[in-house]
Structure 1
Amino acid sequence: MVLNICQITNNTANLFNLINSENHNDDYSIPPYTTRYADSWVPWKNKDDTKYILIRQNPDSDENSRTGTSPVTLKLCDYHFHLICTIYPFRTVARQRVNSSKDFSININDRKFTFVCINGEFLPGVQSFDVTY
C-alpha cells in the first residue's frame, strides 16, 4: 500500500471509513474508527494540528498469519508527525507499546520510505534518510 502523507487534511480521517472526533480517550488521541480492515495505516490530525500515523495490526488476520508483517510505503512531505506501530486493538495495548512509537521530524520532499511493523514493533531497516526522534 502506498499512502501519500502529503494529502493529510482535517478530512483525511475519511480514509478507511474513519470518524474524526475531538472525543479522545487515550494517550495518543486516536479518533474512533469504523474500519474493519485487518491492517490499517491511518493518518489524522489532532486539535493541535499535529500529524499522526497509526499502524494497526490484527494478529489474527489472514495476512499476518501468512506473512507476519505489515509493510507500507509512505510518501512524505515536510512536517512533523508521529508514527505509531501497535497490535490491534490499539487502545488495549497503548500503554504497553510506548516504546514502539517514534516521533519523527522529517524534512523531505517526494521521497518514499518503507516501515515494517510486526507484533507491535518496528523492524530495523536501512536508515537512508535523516531522522531525529
Structure 2
Amino acid sequence: MAQPCPNFDDISAALHTMSTEIPKMANLEVRIQGMETHQRQMENIVNEIHAQQERMENVVNEIHARQERMHLEMLHNFEILGKKLSAISNQAIGSLPLSSAEIATLIEEEVDVILSELLLPTDGTVAMKKEMVREELM
C-alpha cells in the first residue's frame, strides 16, 4: 500500500505562518508582565474597596450608637418634663422644688397643690406627701 504524498503547499504555508508569528512571541513576556501588573492593580483596588466598606460600616455603627444614646437621653428628658407638667392643664407646674432640701421646706398647702397638679392623692401626713413629691420629681 502506498503512503499518501505530503502536501508541500500546506507545509510551506505553515512554515511561512510560523516564521511571521515567532518574532511576535518576543512580546509575549511583556504582555504577561502587563497582565500581572493589571492583576496586582485590580487586587489593590479590591482591597481598597474592602477597606472603604469596613470604614463605612464603622461610621454606620457609630451613627447608630449615637442615635441610640440620643434617643435614651430624649426619653429621659421627656420623662423629667412629664413629671413637671400638670396632668390637669398640661402646663408647667409653678415653682416646683428642685431638690430634696427645697421639698423639706414646703408647707402642707404647697405640697397639696403639687400633688393635685400631678393627680396624686393629698391625704396622709405631710411627711408622706413630701415623700410622694420626691418620688415623682426626683
**Which of 1 and 2 has higher RCO (CA within 8 Å, sep 6+)?**
1
Q: Which has the higher helix share?
A: 2
Is this a same-fold pair by TM over 0.5? Answer: no
TM range (shorter): under 0.3
Larger radius of gyration: 2
- Structure 2 length normalisation: TM-score? 0.20
Q: Which has the higher strand share?
A: 1
